[in-house]
Structure 1
């Protein structure tokens, strides 16, 4: 492979961790036992590493008492709370496979997720926001022959701990000795845009190392306190958040059950957090909140922005106004545990706002021609592929989907369009299916979004393609206007004129208060297309191939 081709390997003198999650946690407890491990402000919960270890021991014994065997699937359906964290490590120590259920799921999705991977024991909150989880589970339970036990955190947690006291710790120790780091430990359902989600099956080796090397890149140590407002059910929360902390002795600090900008700002101030996570929309909500200036966030130094492209102006404000001079960008997907590339704390602001960094340690990436699979020259757009320890074991009980995603050489095909420059920095320029093709011209939504963010009245812009009889597709922009500002579609069109190519200027505009989003804060562009297509009376979108 010549240096002129889009291929990079994350060479590293730091070896991969060859241990289970439980073994790694034990080492951290031995090194930092009396230091604070977990803080959940919404529950008033605090635990040292030694206390957290005992809690995971008690729950692991409770799982064994409940009949959970090695390889059994244990589900968790809940927003962020301390029991979720304890269960994450307890299940790993008991040899179970934790199945993360999206808190936004409703009955059809819940039924599918639990049935697909044969969950035998389910932990759930009574409910979340307006959703009554207990009632929803009761509705679908007759369809779940494998589900033999459902325990609510509020009502059944203490009884589980009581049951565990009847299991000798030697039994748990023997279970832990039987585990291998390549064993599956977690199933996460990916939010596909069509059909039912697929269960990405991840091993101890996958997620422990991804959390570890993410923490290494962030410079974590036992003095760090990491504010984690992103959900645990997703890799962002439980891997880049929890596992990055536990592999380094850093403190996990959880503001509340779900994201709230004031709760985050209060938590950073009160707990003197040194790191903060979020998707761009979360950082925008914090920065734009009328009370932002009231809070002292000067303890921050680093963090992660991920989940969707970061507008340049938002990154600059995070660095200057939130003191996060070492903030990094992480790019990845659930199927790769999740991180594949990350910017460095020492990268220039220009690098951090214009790329997603370079390949992570012990991982390979390449950019290929989607039509031929050939590696493209550097600077040329193509599909980003990744290979290494981080690639999932496969989709649970779906061999066909696994083969479609991971090729014979072990490369995971991301579906993302990227370029790689001469210094191996990767830039995500769009998704294969997100690229807008208007009259034969390829348009990157990201490029148009970045330009629209330079308008003083635009707080956030999301660009999509909608059907057009004349051009195949037309550009449409959904705009969230900054608080106190006003702007019209006509003014936005005039702003674009002469500054970007005419064919890139949105033909349709929609001013909104919010975007359709997943629980993790990702904008659902497929849903935006559906809504816009219906509202504009354009009929079903044509199947458009890449040029």
Structure 2
């Protein structure tokens, strides 16, 4: 099976794993030193054994099998074993909290789960007594695996659920592979590449961008248990990483940490990619200036198996402040009445392509609302396209601040705050107001020892974007609440700071 830049991957995850196993190249290394490396052949053999065991238990094709696994060798084996067997890998967000985890286990109807020892206490709190059997692979099982097709269900991942109950996003083998493919073709991934994975595999970025990107390109994944600012460059060095995928908060934390890559590591890294939320142009410029590693801004969703947009790699044109161009799918801007918007005109960002989800599990109404009659997925994000086809995100429909009838994009305020070198994390949000309907507030995390005050930051924003858009209050917090990918959660900040 050959990766094509024009045609999405054909077949199933099982087909691609069998193909990679024939090469017996390196698949996974673990630079933290906790686990033994895996070749593609090792991975296929383990996956086939797990698949046979699950089949022997009577688990049906497409049935949910829950994975409560951090980034580790066992988590990789469990994931590929479930996919290889034709079951629906149901990724449980380990930091979502007991109620959200219980909801996912109940809603998915999982009868079996792979539970890592570090997640055992969470599982014991969230799972109902007798509801789910934990999977333990002992000895060898022989069972005829079910036949698989690209349209069969492969992945179930729950959205963060910042408003209402989380929605279960269902991907097929075809859309899951296409998620890795959009990354591979955008970044020119080859079997000689090694991607450093510090994002959790129970998030779509870690799973599709890095893991599926390596599967379809034949490269290697260097998997770390978690992000560590002090160890990031050492892990990249020991793994000989050629690229990494992170989120803006990680880029900011690396920029404010003391560690630096050595010359050999810097030379080996072709690029880093930023996703999940907007990257401040000031932070991007400072990172590239200090570390000499190009950052490629991208955009993706759980519903699109991660990436939909990416800036080209250098020497291609990277437009700072834009997540780039469509790769492997179509992206358009639609008006409120679902008509295409002209160049530079704001509307809703919509996407259509092989990486788009099948459905929201057991929620046909939400599925129907998310698609236009002609098959475009409505992202809920606002943006515009320039004359060159580069997309610029201007806000999110649910996060817009409407002050005195005027729409204010939180990103504009974020970028003003990030322009100060002492600001590590920043997020603006709306607060109800009797005078204007909503007023602007923001929260920041600042560098240790900084003398920055609330008033200093308000004055900075007033100078950068004007007094009307500047926050009335800036809350200085120890940390800003974040989701599993590291994306800052604005709505939770509003709840946390109520009454401050």
TM-score of Structure 1 vs Structure 2, range by shorter chain: over 0.9
Task: State the partner residue of 1:114.
Answer: 105
Q: Tell me, yes or no, if structure 1 residue 374 matches structure 2 residue 363.
A: no
Report the Cα offset of residue 133 of structure 1: 2.7
Task: State the partner residue of 2:31.
Answer: 41
Q: Distance between the aligned counterparts of 2:469 and 2:459, measured in 1?
A: 13
Choose which of 321, 325, 331 in structure 2 pairs with 1:354.
321
Q: Gaps (5+ residues) in structure 2?
A: none
Report the Cα offset of residue 317 of structure 1: 3.4
Deviations 1:448-473 (A, max 9, x none): 21122222332332111111111111
Please say if residues 423 and 444 of structure 2, whose CA atoms lie closer than 8 Å, have aligned partners that are also in contact: yes
The answer to which of 453-462 and 81-90 deviates more is 453-462
Q: Tell me, yes or no, if structure 1 residue 287 matches structure 2 residue 252.
A: no
Please say if residues 341 and 360 of structure 1, whose CA atoms lie closer than 8 Å, have aligned partners that are also in contact: yes
Q: Tell me, yes or no, if structure 1 residue 241 matches structure 2 residue 210.
A: yes
Task: State the partner residue of 1:8.
Answer: none
TM-score with structure 2 length normalisation? 0.94
CA gap 1:347/1:403 in 2 versus in 1, 3 angstroms: farther
Task: State the partner residue of 1:16.
Answer: 8
Please say if residues 253 and 424 of structure 2, whose CA atoms lie closer than 8 Å, have aligned partners that are also in contact: no
Task: State the partner residue of 1:29.
Answer: 21
Choose which of 165, 190, 193 in structure 1 pairs with 2:159.
190
Please say if residues 125 and 133 of structure 1, whose CA atoms lie closer than 8 Å, have aligned partners that are also in contact: no
CA gap 1:134/1:424 in 2 versus in 1, 3 angstroms: closer
Task: State the partner residue of 2:179.
Answer: 210
Q: Distance between the aligned counterparts of 1:314 and 1:416, measured in 2?
A: 22
Task: State the partner residue of 1:486.
Answer: 451
Task: State the partner residue of 2:53.
Answer: 62
The answer to which of 444-453 and 41-50 deviates more is 41-50
CA gap 1:69/1:305 in 2 versus in 1, 3 angstroms: same
Q: Which has the higher contact order (CA 8 A, sep 6+)?
A: 1
Report the Cα offset of residue 208 of structure 1: 0.2
Q: Distance between the aligned counterparts of 2:458 and 2:232, measured in 1?
A: 36
CA gap 1:438/1:166 in 2 versus in 1, 3 angstroms: closer
Report the Cα offset of residue 379 of structure 1: 0.5
Please say if residues 350 and 377 of structure 2, whose CA atoms lie closer than 8 Å, have aligned partners that are also in contact: yes
Q: Tell me, yes or no, if structure 1 residue 150 matches structure 2 residue 134.
A: yes
Report the Cα offset of residue 94 of structure 1: 0.9
Report the Cα offset of residue 119 of structure 1: 0.6
Report the Cα offset of residue 134 of structure 1: 4.5
Task: State the partner residue of 1:141.
Answer: 129
Q: Distance between the aligned counterparts of 2:123 and 2:439, measured in 1?
A: 45
Deviations 1:502-544 (A, max 9, x none): 2011111111221011121111111112223x215xxxxxxxx
Determine helix, strand or coil for the equivalent of 2:352: strand
Q: Tell me, yes or no, if structure 1 residue 166 matches structure 2 residue 141.
A: yes
Please say if residues 368 and 376 of structure 1, whose CA atoms lie closer than 8 Å, have aligned partners that are also in contact: yes
Task: State the partner residue of 2:116.
Answer: 125
CA gap 1:92/1:293 in 2 versus in 1, 3 angstroms: closer
Q: Tell me, yes or no, if structure 1 residue 452 matches structure 2 residue 417.
A: yes
Report the Cα offset of residue 493 of structure 1: 2.8
Task: State the partner residue of 1:535.
Answer: 499
Report the Cα offset of residue 416 of structure 1: 0.4
Deviations 1:299-337 (A, max 9, x none): 211232101110112222333333323x32221211111
Q: Distance between the aligned counterparts of 1:342 and 1:207, measured in 2?
A: 18
Determine helix, strand or coil for the equivalent of 2:382: strand
Report the Cα offset of residue 295 of structure 1: 8.8
Report the Cα offset of residue 498 of structure 1: 4.0
Q: Distance between the aligned counterparts of 1:119 and 1:167, measured in 2?
A: 23
Report the Cα offset of residue 246 of structure 1: 1.3
CA gap 1:73/1:323 in 2 versus in 1, 3 angstroms: same
Please say if residues 72 and 224 of structure 2, whose CA atoms lie closer than 8 Å, have aligned partners that are also in contact: no
CA gap 1:13/1:102 in 2 versus in 1, 3 angstroms: closer
Report the Cα offset of residue 13 of structure 1: 6.0
Q: Distance between the aligned counterparts of 1:511 and 1:440, measured in 2?
A: 28
Task: State the partner residue of 1:544.
Answer: none
Determine helix, strand or coil for the equivalent of 1:51: helix
Report the Cα offset of residue 296 of structure 1: 6.1
Determine helix, strand or coil for the equivalent of 2:278: coil
Determine helix, strand or coil for the equivalent of 2:37: strand
Report the Cα offset of residue 215 of structure 1: 1.3
Report the Cα offset of residue 137 of structure 1: 4.5
What does 1:222-233 align with in structure 2 at a 5 Å threshold? Answer: 222-233=191-202
Please say if residues 329 and 357 of structure 1, whose CA atoms lie closer than 8 Å, have aligned partners that are also in contact: yes
Task: State the partner residue of 1:543.
Answer: none
Task: State the partner residue of 1:513.
Answer: 478
Please say if residues 35 and 72 of structure 2, whose CA atoms lie closer than 8 Å, have aligned partners that are also in contact: no
Determine helix, strand or coil for the equivalent of 2:149: coil
The answer to which of 456-465 and 431-440 deviates more is 456-465
Please say if residues 383 and 393 of structure 2, whose CA atoms lie closer than 8 Å, have aligned partners that are also in contact: yes
Task: State the partner residue of 1:545.
Answer: none
Please say if residues 387 and 411 of structure 1, whose CA atoms lie closer than 8 Å, have aligned partners that are also in contact: yes
Determine helix, strand or coil for the equivalent of 1:273: coil
Determine helix, strand or coil for the equivalent of 2:265: coil
Report the Cα offset of residue 434 of structure 1: 1.3
Q: Distance between the aligned counterparts of 1:376 and 1:347, measured in 2?
A: 30
Choose which of 276, 285, 288 in structure 2 pairs with 1:319.
288
Q: Gaps (5+ residues) in structure 1?
A: 1-11, 537-547
Q: Distance between the aligned counterparts of 1:529 and 1:459, measured in 2?
A: 19
